[in-house]
Amino acid sequence: MQTAKLSLDPLYRIGEIDPRLYGSFIEHLGRAVYHGIYEPDHDTADTDGFRGDVLAMVQELNVPIVRYPGGNFVSGYNWEDGVGPKGQRPKRLELAWRTLETNQFGTNEFMDWCQKANTAPMLAVNLGSRGLDAARNYIEYCNHPGGTYWSDLRKAHGYAEPHDVRVWCLGNEMDGPWQIGHKTAAEYGRLAEETAKVMKWVDPTIELVACGSSGSGMPTFPEWEATILDHTYEHVDYISLHTYYGNYDGNTPHFLALSLDMDNFIATVASICDYIKAKKRSKHTVNLSFDEWNVWYHSRINEPKFEPWSFAPPQVEDIYTFEDALLFGCMLITLIKHADRVKMACLAQLVNVIAPIMTENCGTAWKQTIFYPYLHALQYGRGVALNVNPCSPVYDDAEFDAAPYLETVATYDEANESVAIFAVNRSLDEVLILEADGRAFPGYQVIEHITMTSPDLQARNTAEQPNTVTPQVNGDAALADGMLTANLPAASWNVIRLAKSAG
């Protein structure tokens, strides 16, 4: 058995964790909206048509912010189609995903759902097929108190108070040739700059996210970031990053190491922001919004084809394995490790589409394997992120040279005098002994050691068997004389929770 070491010290602060680090995403795609969060015919639907079983799971997660309405969808979206009397809303060909969009769910329904889900909206504007004019009208509709055409229209639609949407994305993945209205960096940079300017004239209190690259593998990365920030730097607050990984060749050790790519991606984008800051002699800091991240590959390989222009077909529905949950946990840890610069992130997505929550049409809802690490981060990943200076044995990897068996970070919630250590043991066959020096937390004790393991890396939760993979409070972490020890089972997700003892 091998040993990994780390140290816990409240002074080794990485940065304050913005609760929005654990956001999520709902796109008009497949069954995310229709049959996902909105299904008026469902047994549990409320008077707004929102599924109660799904809402209960979203409330259990306590997701702080949800991005909407896309994704690729937004680049062809007319937001006006989705407001006003439902009977008058147009049906449209939805070009991004080749489906039929009925517009029975739109901005106001999303705001109502957010309120019930106890979450905040993050809206994206269409900079693909549309531009500045639609964006300024949209923010006037949502955020202006009244007395103007668009704000009074909102009132006429039954919403007297402004929606007060705080965060807005300037388009989606505009670097991608698949995007409706794909642009060069120079084209997007100018459009985003001008759109940002007028959106902030309508409401100077909003925060704006510029589109970064759709992935670190894009041929235009990182020049895209440098160019678009050159245009937008003083007008935006965040730049976006997106990434999805998959185990395409069945090489699980390499698959589990892919969070190291996410780590490099974040570090590089943060450096580019700082380079432009220096170049512009700016006092403003642009932070990072990792507003799409997840494992996504099962559905790319095995999803059945559907008739084009069908309504809410099952699309992009990955059924997650246990090993997916392990990489997912490593990705969460990576986000927390960069809490000083990554201030927002959105798990893509929330329901049915590459999601922790799955539903059957007019049937049951269940939690995928990835639900649990996400829940744990939301519950316990609070306060400040701590650099634990891990020292771990490593394994060879063709892309990353050496990949540590241990992926880990700790969080410290000073107000509640509690610490959480999040850890993945990437070894598929050996227990990893964890030794942590916790002397800087005198009087603390182990509250619980949660583990998630499975004898089968390919185990999944399904509608019929929803509890095949679930976390257990069965770990053996113990703290004596300031030294913490724990056995991290082979291929495991772990949360070790400490708190100051009462006496």
From CA 9, how far away is CA 439, in angstroms rounded?
8
Rounded to a whole number of angstroms, the minimum distance from the CB of residue 71 to ligand AHR is 3
Query: For 215-317, where are the alpha helices, taking DSSP H only?
Result: 223-232, 252-257, 259-279, 298-302
Q: Which is nearer to ligand AHR, 36 or 70 (CB)?
A: 70
Task: Tell which one of 326, 347, 348, 424 touches ligand AHR (CB under 6 A).
Answer: 348
| Least distance to ligand AHR, CB of residue 27, Å | 5
Residue 255: φ, ψ to 5° = -55, -45
Residue 94 binding ligand AHR, by CB under 6 A: no
- Binders of ligand AHR among residues 219 to 278 (CB under 6 A) are none
Nearer to ligand AHR by C-beta: 176 or 381? Answer: 176
Please, what is the minimum distance in Å from the beta carbon of residue 241 to ligand AHR? 12
Q: Which of 172, 352, 451, 454 binds ligand AHR (CB under 6 A)?
A: 172
Minimal distance, residue 291 CB to ligand AHR, in Å: 9
Asked if 173 is part of the footprint of ligand AHR (rule: CB under 6 A), the reply reads yes
Helix (H, G, I), strand (E, B) or coil at 6: strand
Task: Tell me, yes or no, if 317 is annotated catalytic.
Answer: no
Residue closer to ligand AHR (CB basis): 173 or 324: 173
- Options 94, 292, 324, 407; binder of ligand AHR; rule CB under 6 A: 292
Does the protein bind ligand AHR through residue 99 (CB under 6 A)?
no
Secondary structure in 3-state letters for 55-84: HHHHHHHCCCEEEECCCHHHHHCCHHHHCC
What count of Cα atoms within 13 Å lies in the side-chain half-sphere of residue 441? 30
b/e per residue, 69-83, with b = 16+ CB within 10 A?
A: bbbbbbbbbebbbbb
Q: Is 213 in the site for ligand AHR (CB under 6 A)?
A: no
Query: Of 70 and 471, which has the nearer Cβ to ligand AHR?
Result: 70
Q: Are 287 and 238 in contact (CB under 8 A)?
A: yes
Q: What is the DSSP letter of 407?
A: E
Query: Which residues partner with 385 through β-bridges?
Result: 15, 411
Closest distance of CB 447 from ligand AHR, Å: 36
Q: Is 173 a catalytic residue?
A: yes
Q: Cβ of residue 354: shortest distance to ligand AHR, in angstroms?
A: 6
Number of residues that bind ligand AHR (CB under 6 A): 10
- Residue number, 348 or 450, with CB nearest to ligand AHR: 348
Give which of 427, 415, 409 is closest to 373, Cα–Cα. Answer: 409
In the bound state with ligand AHR, the residue whose beta carbon lies nearer, of 173 and 261, is: 173
Residues 328 to 347 in contact with ligand AHR, rule: CB under 6 A = none
Q: In whole angstroms, how large is the CA radius of gyration of the chain? A: 23
**Which of 172/195 has CB closer to ligand AHR?**
172
For the bound state, the minimum distance from the C-beta of residue 172 to ligand AHR, rounded and expressed in Å, comes to 5
| CB neighbours of residue 417 within 10 Å | 14
Measured distance CA(103)–CA(92) in Å, rounded: 8
**Is there binding between residue 349 and ligand AHR (CB under 6 A)?**
yes
Residue nearest to ligand AHR (CB): 71
**Which of residues 50 and 293 has its CB atom nearest to ligand AHR in the complex?**
293
Of the two residues 252 and 352, which places its CB atom closer to ligand AHR in the complex?
A: 352
Is residue 492 within 8 Å of residue 452, measured between CB atoms?
yes
Q: What CA–CA distance (Å, rounded) separates 259 from 228?
A: 26
Catalytic residue among 109, 292, 323, 407: 292
Q: In the complex, what is the shortest distance from the CB of residue 262 to ligand AHR, in angstroms, rounded to a whole number?
A: 15
| Residue 99 beta carbon to ligand AHR: minimum distance, rounded to whole angstroms | 12
List 289's β-bridge partners, or say none: 240, 344
Q: Is 27 in the site for ligand AHR (CB under 6 A)?
A: yes
The answer to whether residues 236 and 209 touch, using CB atoms and an 8 Å cutoff, is: yes
* Torsional class of 120: left (φ above 0), alpha (ψ -120 to 50), beta (otherwise): beta
Q: How far apart are CA 270 and CA 272, in angstroms?
A: 5
Distance, CA of 136 to CA of 142 (rounded, Å): 10
Site string for ligand AHR, 36-75 (x = CB under 6 A): ----------------------------------xxx---
Selecting among 140, 173, 207, 323, the annotated active-site residue is: 173
Could you tell me which of 35, 59, 63 has the C-alpha nearest to residue 49? 35
Tell me which residues are annotated as active site.
173, 292
Residues that bind ligand AHR (CB under 6 A): 27, 70-72, 172-173, 214, 292, 348-349
